[in-house]
A and B are shown apart, each in its own frame.
Chain A
Amino acid sequence: KNQVEQSPQSLIILEGKNCTLQCNYTVSPFSNLRWYKQDTGRGPVSLTIMTFSENTKSNGRYTATLDADTKQSSLHITASQLSDSASYICVVINDYKLSFGAGTTVTVRA
């Protein structure tokens, strides 16, 4: 069973709208959590990283939150753009081991 579960599996939003992606994990112990963006046909690119003591981290229109007590993270996309269409992958880091979620595919429509 995957230790990193992401939801929803996919979503469609209209350009300019906001959306929130969820990541629940059971990896323990936990040191860091990263969100990656993967465009179609490309490799993943890191968006944010948070340690267990951080609650929120922003990168432009992307804001990640972390609740280490409930083992949940979310990625919020504000004022979506067509270029936000991609898969977003949650990665939980335990020491040197990375556990990848299956990703949420976001489609932004004009």
Chain B
Amino acid sequence: DAGITQSPRYKITETGRQVTLMCHQTWSHSYMFWYRQDLGHGLRLIYYSAAADITDKGEVPDGYVVSRSKTENFPLTLESATRSQTSVYFCASSKYRDPGNQPQHFGDGTRLSIL
């Protein structure tokens, strides 16, 4: 039962570089989400996807790009990394849109440091 996996788990890069965080789920869930978690703040939604080729912005989308060509994959790209994007990034998935019906299942995160 692989569930939802994120890679890499840790990444260090420099400002201005492009970096892609990977997310893969084996449940065939329709919905996938990207969050960032910063110290002292709650998780904040960056982007979400309702199905392959359908994506939409969340609360903090600036500086990020997503794609979803296959149901099971939802990569997040920082096109030109900035220090303010240093954070822990979590991918999540769910079968239904309604989070009250079924919880979102989270990966174990990618800790990204931008120097």
Contact = CB atoms under 8 A, between A and B. Distances in A.
Interface stretch (A13-21, A56-64, A69-77, A93-101): A93-101
Contacts of A96: 97-99
B108 A98 contact: no
B103 interface: yes
Contacts of A49: 100, 103
A26 interface: no
Contacts of B41: 2, 102
Interface in B30-65: 40-45
- By secondary structure, the B interface counts as loop
- By secondary structure, the A interface counts as strand
Interface string B91-110: 01000011110011111110
A3 to B, nearest CB: 9
**Chain B, interface residues (CB within 8 Å), range:** 20 to 34
B92 A43 contact: yes
A7 interface: no
B41 to A, nearest CB: 6
A51 interface: yes
A30 to B, nearest CB: 10
B74 interface: no
B109 A43 contact: yes
Contact of B42 (A31, A45, A99): A99
Which of B97, B98, B100, B104 has most chain A Cβ within 10 Å?
Answer: B100
Contacts of A81: none
Contact of B90 (A2, A32, A34, A43): A43
A91 B33 CA distance: 15
Given A42-B109, A43-B107, A96-B98, 11 more contacts: A2-B41, A31-B100, A32-B100, A36-B103, A43-B92, A44-B90, A93-B99, A96-B97, A96-B99, A102-B40, A103-B42
